[in-house]
Amino acid sequence: MFKAIKQRLEGLNTFPFYYEIAMWFIFICIYKYSVLLDLAGLPNPNRDDFPNPELILFAIALSLYVIPFYRWIAPTLLKKKKHGWLALAIIFYFGIVCKVSNWVMSSIFYYITAPSPLKDFYHKSMLFTRGLLTRPFGWSPNPLLADIIVFLSVSFIWFAYENERKKHLLEKDNLVLQLESLKAQLHPHFLFNTLNNIYGMSLTGNKETPAFILKLSDMMRFILYDCQRNLVSLEKDIEFLENYLEMEKQRYPAAEIQFTVSGDATGKQIAPLLFIQFLENSFKHGAHRLNDTGFIHGSLRVEGNSLHFELRNDVFAVATPASNSPYGGVGIENVRKRLVLYYPGQHDLSIGKTDDVFEVKLTITSLSS
């Protein structure tokens, strides 16, 4: 699983967990405790803020019955969209199970408590709840309704966040497929062009031919093996870009192609193949394809855990099908989605186009180490 996705999903699960804990603390340990304290009517000669703290344990024990309902029964019925059955489950569970649980817990606390005014209160509670077992109705509506509202809210929140988690997993699977598609597109397109260049170099007896064959081998190894992982070494990704540029410089020796790298990329990791699409588009749409005055200027700068990528290339001012088409098409849209998934709220991508210049600026503010 993507490290960024894992962190994001852990964040999604944090809120419902803390909400559930808060409900137990505020509703059970404070509200229910105060209600039980009033019902018990126990003396408080010292005017303590929290007299008889044993009642907090009693309040918790009286509420344990609801855990199976809001953790399993309600989510299961919601998932199956059986809302009518959910309504019946609420009536049955809070009308019957609640009474049985209260009688059992009252009995347990009565038998384990030493003789005291508190034991007398547990005895009254035991007798009261046992009497309720003989009647289908007669339960006090206010505390029962409060239990239903509070714990149904917990169940709804867990259900909603579980749906959101599944949605993000589907997005992840979809983007993994898109990444595989991107790599599949890159392989033949880049490979055929590069092999043609190397073939031309070999025909002219260029001494650099073996070096370029080695560069191509390194690039294909990076795509086939390193990019199978969710995050790759930034150093290797930069090396891949530099090798790609060297290959393209062989195709367009007269073009002004400059790309600078600065900063310390040691130990940094990044999502694979984020930048290659921009470079490919520069060579695809650039004016250097038809004249010798075209330029491609780029830079990649690492500052701490931040990365700044910039790329500019000239295009023909005269409208052509290529210049009128959306910049990058599906490939750039793929990069946008992957940036949102890998670096949510931690990146800024801007793509601008004038009559004769394309410009891309990408900032990632939280690189993985």
Q: Provide the pLDDT for residue 146.
A: 85
Report the range of poorest mean pLDDT among 131-145, 196-210, 213-227. 131-145
- pLDDT greater than 50 at residue 320: no
Buried b (16+ CB within 10 A) or exposed e, 213-223: eebbeebeebb
Output 260 or 204, whichever has higher pLDDT.
Answer: 260
Share of residues in the chain with pLDDT > 70 (%): 83
Q: Where are the alpha helices (DSSP H) in the chain?
A: 3-23, 33-40, 54-63, 67-68, 74-79, 83-92, 98-112, 117-132, 141-203, 209-224, 234-251, 276-285, 321-324, 329-342
The CATH architecture of the domain made up of 207-364 is 2-Layer Sandwich (3.30)
Contact 270, 232 (CB under 8 A): yes
Output 253 or 235, whichever has higher pLDDT.
Answer: 235
Q: Provide the pLDDT for residue 254.
A: 80
Share of residues in the chain with pLDDT > 90 (%): 26
How many residues in total does the chain contain? 369
How far, in Å, CA of 169 to CA of 236, rounded? 28
> How confident is the prediction for the chain on average, in pLDDT?
82
Q: Looking at residues 260-267, what average pLDDT do you find? A: 94
Contact 171, 341 (CB under 8 A): yes
Q: Looking at residues 103-130, what average pLDDT do you find? A: 91
Q: Provide the pLDDT for residue 195.
A: 79
pLDDT digits (tens, 9 = 90+) for 14-26: 788 888 999 999 9
pTM (predicted TM-score): 0.54
Output the CA angle 294-308-188, nearest 5 degrees.
55
pLDDT band at 133 (very low <50, low <70, confident <90, very high): confident
pLDDT band at 308 (very low <50, low <70, confident <90, very high): very high
Where are the chain's structural domains? 3-165, 207-364
What letter would DSSP give residue 1?
A: -
